[in-house]
Amino acid sequence: MTPRKIFGIVLAGGEGKRLMPLTEDRAKPAVPFGGQYRLIDFALSNLINSGLTQIVVLTQYKSHSLDRHVSQTWRLSGLLNSYVASVPAQQRLGKRWFSGSADAILQSLNLIHDENPDIIVVVGADHVYRMDFRQMIDAHIESGLDATVAAIRQPISLADQFGVIEVDDANPARINRFLEKPKDPQGLPDAPHEVLASMGNYVFNADALIDAVLRDGELTDSNHDMGGDIVPAFVSQGRAGVYDLRRNSVPGSTDRDRYYWRDVGTIDSFFEAHQDLISVLPVFNLYNREWPIFSQQLNSPPAKFTRDARGTLGTMIDSIVSLGSVISGAHVERSVLGPWATVGSGAHVADSIVFDRASIESGATVRRAILDKDVVVEAGAQVGVEPELDRSRGFIVTPSGITVVGKGSRVRRAS
C-alpha cells in the first residue's frame, strides 16, 4: 500500500536548554547516548529501517557537531537519489532564523518542491524509541485523512507533561481534541486511566502540509509550532487522525521493549533512559539485530579490561563499555562508558554516564554523575558523592542528586 514517493523531515534545531551543560556546545540531537550513539541516530535509524531513502535534517542551534555526525555517519550511496542531508536555516524568507518547527518547514519548502513527494513524514530528533513508519504510513493512507499523529499511551497522572490527544468516541482513529499539557484530561474509552500522548512524529499528505505551513506563516498570533499550531489546525477541520503505537510491530522487539519511547529532554530523563539499557533484560534493547540502531563506525580497538600494576582485578557489573575504553583494576557498576574512556586502578564508578575520552584516574570515585567528553577526574577525587561540594565547584546537581560535569572539565581532589 505504501506509495513510492515519501519524503522524511527530521526536526533537529532544538536548543535543549533543560539538558545544559550537555547542550552548551552542541545541539540537543547531537548529545551522545548509550555509549557510541547520538540522539538523532534513533530517529534516522527508524526512518532508514522503514525504507525511507530521501531524508533531510533541519538544523539550527550550534549545529556543527550534528552536521559533522550526519555527514560522516549517514552517507547513503547516492544511487536512485538516496540521501540523508543536513540542511541549516537558509533564510529564504528574510534575514531571520527558524521561529518554530512549522516555520522550519516553511523556510525549507524548496526541499519538498524538489522531490515532489506524495507523503511527508515529520519526526523529532531527540527521542529514544523504535518504530516502523511503514505501518503508520499505511494506516494514514487507509484513513483518508490529511494528517496522522503518532501517539503512545501514558498514565493519566502524567498528562500534564505531554501534548494529549482526545479521540472521537465513535471513531477512535480520529482526533477530537489536541491539548497541550492538560491538567484534567479525559481517559481513553478503552482505558480510562490512560491518555494518548503525542510522540512528536507525524505523517501528512504533502499538499496538505504545504498549504498548512503557508497559512500558518501568514498568522501573527501563531508560535509556528508543529504540535502547538499545525496539528490543532488539522484537528479543528476534522482532518487529523491518531496512530496508537500499540498497532506498531517492530521486527525483533520483545514484550519488554516493544512500546518503549522516551523523551530525554531533561537531565533526569536522560539519566533514567541510560539505566533502561543496562539490565540483563533491558527495558530498551540495543541488541535487536532485526531493527538495528545505526551510528558512526569508530576506527577504534576493542574495549579492554586488565589487572592493574599490582595485579588487582577489577569488576564490571551491569554496564555498557564502548570501543577503545580501558578499565584497569577498577570497579564499574550500572554505568555506561563512551568510546576511549579510561578508568584507573582502584577507581569506583557507579550509576554514571561517561562520555567519550573521559578519564577517571586511580582511586577516584564517580557516583550518580554524567561526565561529558574529555572530563578528567583526578586521582583520589570524588564527584557525585557530596552534592554541596559539586555545586561549589560550579557543577550542575539536579534535585534528584545527579551531578553533571561539563565538557573538558577537571575534577580535582578536595584539599
Binding site, annotated residues for alpha-D-glucose 1-phosphate? 163, 180-181, 198
DSSP characters over 4-38: S-EEEEEEE----GGGTTTTSSS-GGGSEETTTEE
Tell the burial category of 84 from Cβ atoms under 10 Å away from its Cβ (0-12, 13-18, 19+): buried
Whether the Cβ atoms of residue 292 and residue 45 lie closer than 8 Å to each other = yes
- The answer to whether the beta carbons of residues 379 and 363 sit under 8 Å apart is yes
Antiparallel, parallel or unpaired: β 194-205 and 147-155: antiparallel
Reduced to 3 states (helix: H, G, I; strand: E, B; else coil), residue 76 is: coil
Q: Are strands 359-360 and 342-343 parallel, antiparallel or unpaired?
A: parallel
d(CA 68, CA 63): 8
Residue found under cell 582511586: 363
The answer to whether the bond into 21 is cis (omega within 30° of 0) is yes
Instruction: List, as one string, the DSSP characters of 183-211.
Output: SSPPPBTTBTTEEEEEEEEEEEEHHHHHH
Under a CB-based contact definition with an 8 Å cutoff, are residues 375 and 392 in contact? no
Cell of 400: 534528584
Residue 101 Cα distances to 98, 217, 227, 245, angstroms: 7, 11, 9, 23
Do 303 and 326 contact (CB within 8 A), yes or no? yes
Quote the crossing angle between the two packed helices 40-49 and 64-73, to the nearest 10°: 30
Give the C-alpha separation, 151 to 136, whole Å: 11
| Cα separation, 212 vs 293, whole angstroms | 33
The one-letter amino acid at 72: Q
Bridge partners (DSSP) listed for residue 263: 127
Query: Under a CB-based contact definition with an 8 Å cutoff, are residues 391 and 405 in contact?
Result: no
Residue ranges for the binding site? Answer: 163, 180-181, 198
